Amino acid sequence: MRVSAGCFFALVLLIASASVAQQPCSASAVRSIINWSQLGFSSCHAGFNSYESILSPSTVGGLQLKWSYATGSAIASSPAVVNGVVYVLSEDGNVYALDARTGAKLWSHFSGEGSLSTPAVANGIVYIGNQDKKVYALDASTGNLIWTYTTGDRIFSSLTVANGVVYAASTDTNLYALNASTGAKLWSTYIENPYPPSVAVSNGVIYVSAEFYIWALNAADGTLRWSFYTDYPSATAVSNGAVYFAANNPDFNVYALNASTGAKLWNYHYGGNGTMPAVANGLVYVGYNDGVYALSAANGSFAWSYTTGDIVDSAPVVANGVVYVGSHDHNIYALNASTGAKLWSYATGNILDVDSPAVVNGVVYLGAWDDNVYAFGLPSH
């Protein structure tokens, strides 16, 4: 049977769409363009781009600076990259939209105060939380304001968008669920002191870190499913039926919990403050005092560690066999995901704090405390 080129292309898109639909936490794949739509790649916050095919352990050593863009202040948020546009929030109070290929500014929107919030982008809208207590929804093409919602206190939260709902944790000790199109409040629920205030969403369940708990809530109404007591947990990453996080002082353990019940699957004591983990290909990666640990996702056994020159507050991310992480020693590192061997590094002009990179379509995007957004790519790409 002969198939026309048009029908074949439509069939390929249909198969690709079905594949993506089966993965509730995957980012959108449109033809050859992959989107890093929010913190940790998708609503699961697993920090894993399984679609990357250009950068690999054999090619990443050739990364070069493609462009940089100077904002008006330090950047503590991670970038989102959607449909060829990089969205990042600067401490100068502006949200910037930059051309992903050239770094040219497309628009900026002043929101009053800076924030640690990583933008979340869905259906043509950019969502950010801010220290002025507001959630902002901006038109992704123009930066024009669509709606705002005011909470009772500051929002440091990296917002999460899933199934038409925006989730925002405020320091007023509430988690808010807002209609993504209109900003109308669907529900809110008390979550103690959010620490740090960002949530992961997977299969109808919200996982949120509070000062002494991991809470699992029903996404439909915010009611409690289970809680797990711990010390100052990092934000969570959800993968393959497990919730992963690092518990900080004085616990200093990485944990894996059953995502359905909250039962502890394993813990690993590593003796330092830890970041939100990344989970990929059977390993869990977590930044700690001055480096990165890789542990078995199945049982928590040690795989490897890599020591940087200073504190690692940047959550690692993984793409095609490479782990990317920033350090207070000013460097972004690319490590072999299987062995921990260093493959590449680049020194920025200041520390890389909680700002994690985004790795999509053969390019590494990063914001730094030297006020710059960076893009690294291969000379031939």
Torsion angles phi and psi, residue 189, rounded to 5: -150, 150
* Alpha-carbon span 98 to 96, nearest angstrom: 6
Q: Can you tell me the distance from the alpha carbon of 356 to that of 177, in angstroms, rounded to the nearest whole number?
A: 25
Nearby residues of 90 by Cβ (< 8 Å), 6 or more positions away? 71, 72, 73, 74, 75, 77, 96, 114, 367, 371
Question: What is the pLDDT at residue 24?
Answer: 52
Enumerate the β-bridge partners of residue 129. 135
Phi and psi at residue 21, in whole multiples of 5°?
Answer: -60, -25
Long-range contacts of residues 344-348, Cβ cutoff 8 Å, at least 24 apart: 344/60, 344/61, 344/63, 346/63, 346/65, 346/374, 346/376, 348/372, 348/374
Q: Which residues of the chain have pLDDT under 50?
A: 1-23, 29-31
At 4 the pLDDT is 39
Contact 124, 141 (CB under 8 A): yes
Cβ-contact 77, 89 below 8 angstroms: yes
Closest CA to 143 of 198, 78, 89, 67: 89
d(C-alpha 367, C-alpha 381), whole Å = 21
**Domain total for the chain?**
1
Domain that holds residue 184: 5-377
Joined together, the tokens standing for residue 248 give 């900080």
For residue 8, the model assigns a pLDDT of: 32
Residue 85 has what pLDDT?
98
CATH of the domain at 48: 2.130.10.10
What pLDDT is recorded for position 30?
45
> Sign of dihedral through CA atoms 374, 378, 380, 381?
negative
The angle subtended at Cα 172 by Cα 171 and Cα 176, nearest 5°, is 90
pTM for this entry: 0.91
What burial class does residue 21 get, using C-beta atoms within 10 Å of its C-beta: 0-12 exposed, 13-18 middle, 19+ buried?
exposed
In sequence order, the 6+-apart residues with CB closer than 8 A to the CB of 6 are none
Strand partners, 345: 333
Neighbours of 350 (CB within 10 A): 14
- Three-state SS string over the chain comes to CCCCHHHHHHHHHHHHHHHHHCCCCCCCEECCEECECCCCCCCCCCCEECCCCCCCCCCHHHCEEEEEEECCCCCCCCCEEECCEEEEECCCCEEEEEECCCCCEEEEEECCCCCCCCCEEECCEEEEECCCCEEEEEECCCCCEEEEEECCCCCCCCCEEECCEEEEEECCCEEEEEECCCCCEEEEEECCCEEEEEEEEECCEEEEEECCEEEEEECCCCCEEEEEECCCECCCEEECCEEEEEECCCCCEEEEEECCCCCEEEEEECCCCCCCCEEECCEEEEEECCEEEEEECCCCCEEEEEECCCCCCCCCEEECCEEEEECCCCEEEEEECCCCCEEEEEECCCCCCCCCCEEECCEEEEECCCCEEEEEECCCC
- pLDDT on residue 353: 83
Amino acid found at 159: L
Q: Nearest to residue 208, comparing CAs of 246, 235, 244?
A: 235
